[in-house]
Structure 1
Amino acid sequence: MSAPPSLPSERPHRPHRSRLRRWLRRLALGCGVVLVVVTAASFVYNGVTAGRATPPRGLRYVQAADVRTRYQTWGTAGPPVVLVHGAFESVDTWSRLAPLLARDHRVYALDLTGDGYSERHGPYTVDHFTRQLLGFLAAMHLGGPGERPLLVGHSSGAAVVTEAALRAPGRLGGVMLLDGDALDTGAGPPPALKYVLFDPYRTSLLRLGLGVDAVIRSVYDAQCGPACPRLDAAGLDQWRRPLRVPGAESALWSMLAAGVPGLPADQVARLAGVRLPKSVVFGAQDDVFTRQTPQETARRIGAPPAALIPGARHLTMISSPKAVAAAVDRLTAASLAASR
């Protein structure tokens, strides 16, 4: 007698898996709809806000290497000092310090390409910035006997003045690294940022942020500290307008992709072998760098111990212009003594 045919085993019913799949499909559909709506809104917003700002009237320009360069001068007598700003800064960043220096110096400041109102002309690298700076010295007839300037480089500008000193030490009178270590490991956006922010969203976010006074003030206050003057309408425009002129956005994306300019540590250390007076000055409360950075930087470049400005953060030329001016005066004295 044959065995009765076996019945197919029944699979247990799992209603929760079906519900989960339906929920995931709905979530994916909802996210897709949101993405389409946000993308469309971003394109529309970018189109509506496509108008660009114009630079202020009365700016001065000179051809420095291959860059039409905006610059400003203060003072008519005394040793020359050239001020080199950091990332996302400009000539106007020096507006509190430069008049103090001008009492005893001839002061020059330029907008590096990519920032301020100079021509946007990549690549935005230490090499290109340095060629622009040395071209600016030539255009201003600086670098000869009795005309060798002190270079003051703020933040990432420290890398530019370091490289200039390595390339043309005989054209300079001294070098100050102000709130910067000149290294390629310094401050700046994380490298992954360029993979997260892309158009049209990054353009929308930038324009939205620039349109909100509170956003600009919060960044400024965090970097500058309580000793800095509060940004009024003119102060807001000083930081906002350079990012709204033609070419500014594309230059900004290029600079963010490359990271804040800097040099390898062994290259910065070569400055110790250059016979020039050197100085390192930091805000004592600068949280962009570690507490060890100022003295490590001074040892690396062969400078005296770093000068720390009490209570100051990362924008010492704004928060503490008198203290920075005094440090420049000390470096000037060392430069004059070395030239005798």
Structure 2
Amino acid sequence: MATSSSLFYPIEKELYSLERNLKTVAGTRHPILYAAAKHLFEAGGKRVRPALVLLVAKATSEKENINNGQKRLAEITEIIHTASLVHDDIIDECTTRRGVKTVHNVFSTKIAVLAGDFLFAQSSWYLANIENLAVVKAISKVITDFAEGEIRQGLVHFDPSISMDAYIEKSFYKTASLIAASCRGAAMLNGSSTQVNNDLYLYGKHMGLAFQIMDDILDITGSTKSLGKPAGADLTNGNLTSPILFSLAQETDLNYLIEREFCNNTDIALALFLIKRGGGITKAKDLAKEQVQAALYCLQFLPKSAPVSSLRELTHFIITRLS
């Protein structure tokens, strides 16, 4: 099976530069902010979002070039994503992320809030300097989408009546919006046609939804070691995702566990068992596969190239993340 890193071979050089640049984002003006940003970016992560930006940049360029605006957009995408994680971790009271302590655990909640704010502000500054108004508009909206997603999620904590449409919409705001907008932005910076820009927006949207659904499945099936955070964290926080929503009809006992907010020590383990038994994981995986197929469909209009092959393989790779 291919690994995500082997799929990045057309953009290895650019990803190496991106990694170096991310570590200098906070500059040296304030030691605490610098330390918080360094802690975040050294925790790693798969860098799937900037990789998509760089691959789309090559896929929509006749000579497979990547311009400076696209390189900067790749960095902006990862900075915005990281800023959202810092704030998510505070809201969800996570102690670890990617196997290392979260920012608010290493420093304090105040510093974490400020570090997240700083990263959002820094991304806006970088964005303004791309000097392409259409791209600025597309990416700026993402930051409001993040807040919208968090608010929507907060309003339906421990609410088993949430519809699948509402779950998909929330997932769009929280994850797919950034990937969709940044894929479109990368194409826009090549002066691609409106049709190509729209196809790549939809590609990013479906890719992002598949990614989020698989993340939600891994929260149920993964171990603390593989996730870098405790399994069942979504349930503990009252975030009812597709695997549990699909299992509710088969496993009515889940409703009682949700009603009492998994307050007993054994409730999370029991809920994980019932979700697996109720077929929720299989149905959620089918939903992710549908999104993957929709994403692949959007790529068929691009001319064949190594970057497009990488985009296809990366899309398939999402489904194979269940290990």
TM-score, scaled relative to structure 2? 0.28
Which has more strand, going by share of residues?
A: 1
Q: Which structure would you say has the larger Rg? A: 1
TM-score, scaled relative to structure 1? 0.27
